[in-house]
Amino acid sequence: MARSLGSLVLVVGPSGVGKDTLIGGAKQALENDRRFTFVRRVVTRPAEVEVEEHDTMEPQAFARAEAMGRFCLSWDAHNLRYGLPISVETDLALGKVVVANVSRHVVSEARRRYPGCAVVLITAEISRRAERLTNRGRESGDQITARLARESAPVPTGINPIIIDNSGGIAIGVTAFVMALRTIAAQE
């Protein structure tokens, strides 16, 4: 089990709730606060500037990096592989609040490895999610309907996430998220 002094903040929520938008807004709002680090995920999907910030890795290279221990967490979602770089552990050892967009399927593993981690669950009304998914332009109408109809994995039992409803404007959601992050940082 990795020993950490900082806090790993796991940002979770279904597609279309605006996780990347809130993370980007918080990153900008907190850019001069050295307590915070925002993790850039590694994904086996080509880089799409408009969709999400991530580093791209071919599936074979991802598997090699994973086997070599270059990820502190990795998971499957939507026929892709995702990973958080091992540098997260350095930031935690330095006492940073490390913010990462992850799948709810990896929360239990993250809690096992990093017991002090916090979970922030982003939600939004289904009509807002549908609008956002449509605006992303990555999926057909039928694919979006199927994505919205799928039941999202629950947050594991025993975890009380900070819940942020991101159905309103971006500024309101970012402000709520920044306040949650500052609260987590103050608890260290």
> Can you say which residues are annotated as belonging to the binding site for ATP?
13-20
In terms of Cα–Cα distance, which of 113, 114, 103, 116 is closest to 156?
A: 103
Could you tell me which residues are beta bridge partners of residue 83? 42, 74
188 is written with which tokens?
Answer: 């260290």
Question: Can you tell me which residue has the tokens 């070599």?
Answer: 68
Amino acid letter, residue 81: R
State the binding site. 13-20
- 139-162 exposure pattern, b = at least 16 Cβ within 10 A, e = fewer: eeeeebeebbeeebeebeeebebb
In terms of Cα–Cα distance, which of 160, 179, 174, 75 is closest to 121?
A: 160
Residues with Cβ within 8 Å of residue 34, at least 6 apart in sequence: 96
